[in-house]
Structure 1
Amino acid sequence: MLDKQLSSPEKTNSEKAYRQLREDIVFGAFLPNEKLKIETLREKYGLGAGPLREALARLSSEHLVVLEGQRGFTVAPMSAEDAYDIGETRTLLEIEALRQSFLHGDEDWETQLVAAYHRLVRAEQKVIQGETDFIEWETRNAIFHETMVAACPSQWVMRMRQQIYEQHQRYRHLSRKQSVGVRDIASEHKALFDAAFNRDIQGATEIIRNHIARTTQTVLQTLKAR
């Protein structure tokens, strides 16, 4: 019992460190190739060195952080080649996950899909009106896409899809600000929702392929401009 009480706060702090670091990396608070010094992170987050190192090791396994031997940790680099590769790989996995999900989704899945889409629409309306930030939108966007594939029975497809989605999320943040007022993402999501609800595998395949390709193109343009 005592062991649990002693280990619980550290576990909680490790999870907190992981969530905060991951969010700051994905949403650009830390730049690609930036050094992640433990002392600086301790001051920023008010957490101990142990939980921070554990979080950095976890992020390293997810390829969001690079461990450079004795020199410590840095934010993973970003490149046009990597962005394109991630976009193409996500397309392949997303299409397969959607196909299997459409075949196995039940009434509960449909109900959850409707709810996730409704919340995403609300968030998109708030972004247009300037009433919310991109983090809230991104959270609801992720839930919507996850709900569409939630009925996929293949654990390996889902694991690989989740890993590549998180990598794509980092690049997608670059394109999101560039897309506001230029790209009608709400209409793209509406088309995806309709295809999913109607179990239209062929239609959803074409929509998701174009959906991801547009994002990749915007990311490549943004990286080139930088």
Structure 2
Amino acid sequence: MRQLVSSPTLTDKVSKMICQDILTGELQPGQKLVVADLKEKYNVGASPIREALALLSWSKYVILEPQKGCWVAPVCKKELNDLYESLRVISSVLLKKAILAGDENWELEVLTSYHKLSRLHFNETFCWKEWEDKHHQFHASLLEGADSKNMFEFFTDLINQIKRYRFYAMQTLNSTQDDLFNIQEHEMIMKLVLAKNSEEASELLDKHLLNTMQRIENILEIA
């Protein structure tokens, strides 16, 4: 008898729902993920749940251990430091290459992505997911001009893992959200990049990433 397999579209949909619940804290770091519970929560069968959990284990959002079970990946200082150390190295290399090789279209994308980010304000209408999307796009736009496919894919993988920590920090900060990401830092990075000031731009980007890591680290220590 041929085994029934859920459609890739359904698996992807379930994966995104679980991912979003991990980011928003609906599913907490370290929480055990039971297929029966998730079936009821998302109103789907066991196959797409299992396939979605396997996908999320590849992106390191969940820990999957055969015969033992599955858990939301925990957050810890050691992993945070390792992720940011790698991100700082790859970002510096890519930014310098982008400033050297980037054309007018790249410069326009950097300016546009910064403008979209700067229009968001930390007030009663603030949407963290919207900020995260635009924040990601700004950092990606800085480095895309390097035209280094493999390094940029590594950067994207790191950013996606770090996203869990940024969401976790924002949930913990609540009313002091503006303390975590300073728009003035992004503006200065953008101006230095467009001025082709490679050394100062890379130094400020590195400082920005280090400061962000330290802020999240402080939150992990008090949470």
Q: Same fold (TM over 0.5)?
A: yes
The 3 A distance-change label for structure 1 pair 10 and 183 is closer
2:190 paired with 1:193? yes
Gaps (5+ residues) in structure 1? 1-5
Distance in 2 between residues matched to 1:140 and 1:180, nearest whole Å: 16
Aligned pairs for 1:162-181 (under 5 A) are: 162-176=156-170, 178=173, 180-181=177-178
Match of 1:96 among 93, 97, 102: 93
Distance in 1 between residues matched to 2:115 and 2:59, nearest whole Å: 31
Q: How far is the alpha carbon of 1:17 from its aligned partner?
A: 1.5
Q: In angstroms, what is the RMSD of aligned CA positions?
A: 2.0
2:124 alignment partner in structure 1? 130
Q: How far is the alpha carbon of 1:60 from its aligned partner?
A: 0.7
2:33 paired with 1:36? yes
2:9 paired with 1:15? no
Q: How far is the alpha carbon of 1:188 from its aligned partner?
A: 0.8
Identity across matched positions, percent: 29
Q: How many residues align?
A: 217
Gaps (5+ residues) in structure 2? none
CA contact (8 A) 2:180 2:212 kept: no
The 3 A distance-change label for structure 1 pair 69 and 107 is same
- TM normalised by structure 2 equals 0.89
Match of 2:78 among 71, 78, 81: 81
Distance in 2 between residues matched to 1:141 and 1:166, nearest whole Å: 12
Q: Secondary structure of the equivalent of 2:71?
A: strand
- TM normalised by structure 1 equals 0.88
Q: Secondary structure of the equivalent of 1:117?
A: helix
2:148 paired with 1:148? no
Q: Which amino acid aligns with 2:167?
A: H
Q: Secondary structure of the equivalent of 2:213?
A: helix
2:152 alignment partner in structure 1? 158
Match of 1:106 among 87, 103, 108: 103
The 3 A distance-change label for structure 1 pair 184 and 13 is closer
Which whole-Å deviations, capped at 9, do the CAs of 1:166-221 have from their partners, x for residues lacking one? 11111122334535243561101111111222222211211111111111111211
Distance in 1 between residues matched to 2:20 and 2:99, nearest whole Å: 31
Which whole-Å deviations, capped at 9, do the CAs of 1:12-58 have from their partners, x for residues lacking one? 11111122222222332221111111222222223332222222111
The 3 A distance-change label for structure 1 pair 109 and 181 is closer
Q: How far is the alpha carbon of 1:78 from its aligned partner?
A: 1.5
